Amino acid sequence: MIRKKGILIILDGLADRPIPELDNLTPLEYAKTPNFDYLIRNGISGLVYPAAPGVRVGTDVGILGLFGYNPFKVYWGRGPIEAVGAGLVLNKGDVAVRCNFATVDEEFRIIDRRAGRIRSGTNELAKALDGMKLDDDVVVNFKEGTEHRAVAIFRGNELSAEITDSDPGIPAEGKKIKEVKAITPGFTFADKTAFLFNQFIRKSYEILKNHPVNQERIKNNLLPANILITRGAGMKMKVRKIAERFNINASAISGETVVIGIAKIAGFNPVTKKGMTSNIDTDLELKINVALQELEKNDFVILHIKGTDIAGHDNQPLKKMEFIQKIDSFIGVFLDNIKGKDDIYIACSSDHATPCRIRDHTADPVPSFIWGKDLLTDNVTSFGERNFFSGGLGKIRSNEFILTLLDFMGVTYKLGS
Ligand SMILES: [Zn+2]
């Protein structure tokens, strides 16, 4: 087989539903996207289910599928993916969990579950928590993430991730932090782990409430980050690296920890730079330039762009539409740079829909396409959810979509002989 290169552009939360202010079109249908349309006219389109019809997914599960995994088989839980993305080492038997720095009163009632979206000082707070010793010789490795986010790894014998969250969810104000419990109680490892998690949360309050960073915050009328709340506990699973399975050099460009974590799991070289913000203010020029460089060095590149999802969560259809148009103009820059090369496939998909009026992820299939010089094209001519109903790829799942791309690239294996 002749091997060719490929790039997959993931527009996070791209798909939407009709918006009255946009003539009942979606932000994608309303947007002018001449460069995407060129690729679509000369490519093959379809609708992709992030996991399966009717299954709503988080970004972690949606991205896992687009890296080629069957998310029903290999989902680690969000905690471990974030921990790997943040650079922590996760061993077999460890339990990893996502944390928020939060603000509570003395009775552990939530004042703000994001500690006023704290932006500085969390590294000092994290240092005070890292290495915390709990009962049964369990030790906690702790690392801050962006803003109020952090990850913790519990290391010790006989731990289980089958436990509930302490984060009361949204809206949280006035609610008490939930006690962590075993999902199935009964003197199991999960009961023990739940006990240790509660111990960790209480100890975090003791350590953080009078920490100098928080004393300073209180002095400046800012909310103190005086406790940690936890969610998404999980353990490492044995999965095959996608890059090894197909014997490809691959990299993934993203500003988001969860994508970086999945890239590492899949054996893709993670690439993130200052200016890649995981929001609509991300430096698209930088991302496109880095993508071009990575494509020179690698067989396969994934480029993740988050802002479309943020605009959906914030119910900002106009911003979403404008951001799509901005991305399209940089796709034009990308196309100018690869002119004359006929060994590249360009694909575009999304990890899930984030319709503005829903302000959350839905299970709607997402418009997706593949462009390449030797494809059998279909009759779809422009980017849009409804246009793609009749596309030549039909309706497939995210891991099938990426397999299709890898097959065009000539790196898949034959079933049978
Ligand atoms: Zn997402």
The whole domain housing 128 covers 82-234
pLDDT value at position 361? 96
pLDDT value at position 252? 98
Q: What is the pTM of this model?
A: 0.89
CA of 17 to the centre of ligand 1 (A): 16
pLDDT value at position 186? 85
Residue identified by tokens 């896992």 is: 64
CA of 136 to the centre of ligand 1 (A): 38
Q: Per-residue confidence of the chain (417 residues) as pLDDT tens digits?
A: 778 999 999 999 999 999 999 999 999 999 999 999 999 999 999 999 999 999 999 999 999 999 999 999 988 888 999 999 999 999 999 999 999 999 999 999 999 999 988 988 999 999 999 999 999 999 999 999 888 999 999 999 999 999 999 999 877 788 999 999 999 888 789 999 999 999 999 999 999 999 999 999 999 999 999 999 999 999 988 899 999 999 999 999 999 989 999 999 999 999 999 989 878 888 999 999 999 999 999 999 999 999 999 999 999 999 999 999 999 999 999 999 999 888 999 999 999 999 999 999 999 999 999 999 999 999 999 999 999 999 999 999 999 999 999 999 999 999 998
Question: In terms of domains, do 353 and 385 share one?
Answer: yes
CA of 277 to the centre of ligand 1 (A): 14
pLDDT value at position 312? 95
The length of the chain in residues reads 417
Does any domain span residue 414? no
CA of 191 to the centre of ligand 1 (A): 32
CA of 58 to the centre of ligand 1 (A): 6
CA of 12 to the centre of ligand 1 (A): 5
pLDDT value at position 64? 96
pLDDT value at position 291? 98
Does any domain span residue 389? yes
CA of 376 to the centre of ligand 1 (A): 30
CA of 307 to the centre of ligand 1 (A): 10
Question: In terms of domains, do 282 and 331 share one?
Answer: yes
CA of 260 to the centre of ligand 1 (A): 13
CA of 346 to the centre of ligand 1 (A): 20
CA of 90 to the centre of ligand 1 (A): 24
Q: Residue 381: CA atoms inside 13 Å, Cβ hemisphere, count? A: 1
pLDDT value at position 128? 97
pLDDT value at position 172? 75
pLDDT value at position 111? 95
Question: In terms of domains, do 249 and 362 share one?
Answer: yes
Q: What is the CATH number of the domain that holds 294?
A: 3.40.720.10
Question: In terms of domains, do 247 and 297 share one?
Answer: yes
Question: In terms of domains, do 21 and 153 share one?
Answer: no
CA of 63 to the centre of ligand 1 (A): 8
Question: In terms of domains, do 131 and 178 share one?
Answer: yes
CA of 244 to the centre of ligand 1 (A): 25
CA 296 to chain centre: 25
Does any domain span residue 413? no
CA of 352 to the centre of ligand 1 (A): 6
pLDDT value at position 145? 86
184, 203, 234: which is the final residue of a domain?
Answer: 234
- Give the count of domains, the chain: 2
CA of 157 to the centre of ligand 1 (A): 34
CA of 134 to the centre of ligand 1 (A): 35
213, 234, 255: which is the final residue of a domain?
Answer: 234
Question: In terms of domains, do 34 and 121 share one?
Answer: no
CA of 151 to the centre of ligand 1 (A): 19
Does any domain span residue 327? yes
pLDDT value at position 46? 98
